Amino acid sequence: MTVTEEHIVEVAQEVWFSLLGLDVTRMERGSEELDALAQLDGMDGMDARVHIDGAWRGQVRLQCGTQVAVRLAAAMLYVQATDVDPAAAADAIGELANVVGGNIKSLLPPPSRLSVPVVSNRRAPRGRAATASLRRVTAVSFLCPAGPFEVGLWHLPPGGSARSRRGPCARIGAGHQCH
């Protein structure tokens, strides 16, 4: 089965409502509202990834601004945003990426495995080798009460390598953290 933007929309809407009690709206690229909100949130942000390995190989990415991650964590933890530290924000978007990734994985041909989530600062430099072989399948931008975010699906074609200079990115195993 091919995962479409409509699948991503459905998964995001279900996950955000069931885990956070938040409704999400799909935003069209170039939307003035999304662009304005993204500018207000600043240039910093967080990127959470889960790798899928098996008959289909690739990754699911969740990207949002740092303040959006803080507000998502607050909704998930039932606390005020002022009570959320950076580690809790990273854990929350990692968990969201994990649940979204698991739902998307269920739409892909078996067998497949899902890695643990990896969360990084969007401003952190990333080597080209880590993503050079990945091809973007689709990405959908959303707006929820916490702010804008994007969910993307990336494919690793046969023969492609998800290895970075720091180690295997697509290796999945107990306790493994992708780099």
Could you tell me the domains of the chain?
Answer: 5-126+136-157 (3.40.1550.10)
Q: Is the pLDDT of residue 162 over 80?
A: no
**Bigger pLDDT: 72 vs 33:** 72
* Whole-number pLDDT of residue 31: 67
The overall average pLDDT reported for the chain is 82
* Whole-number pLDDT of residue 157: 84
With CA atoms as reference, report the closest residue to 45 among 62, 33, 60. Answer: 62
CA distances from 89 to 68, 100, 109, 149, 164 (A): 9, 17, 32, 14, 26
Share of residues in the chain with pLDDT > 70 (%): 73
Spell out the residues 6+ positions from residue 3 whose beta carbon is closer than 8 angstroms to its own: 104, 107, 108, 137, 138, 153
Q: Is the pLDDT of residue 46 over 60?
A: yes
The model carries a pTM of 0.81
For residue range 90-105, list pLDDT tens digits in order.
999 999 999 999 999 9
* Whole-number pLDDT of residue 2: 85
For residue range 1-12, list pLDDT tens digits in order.
689 999 999 999
Determine the average pLDDT of the residues in 73-101: 97
* Whole-number pLDDT of residue 75: 97
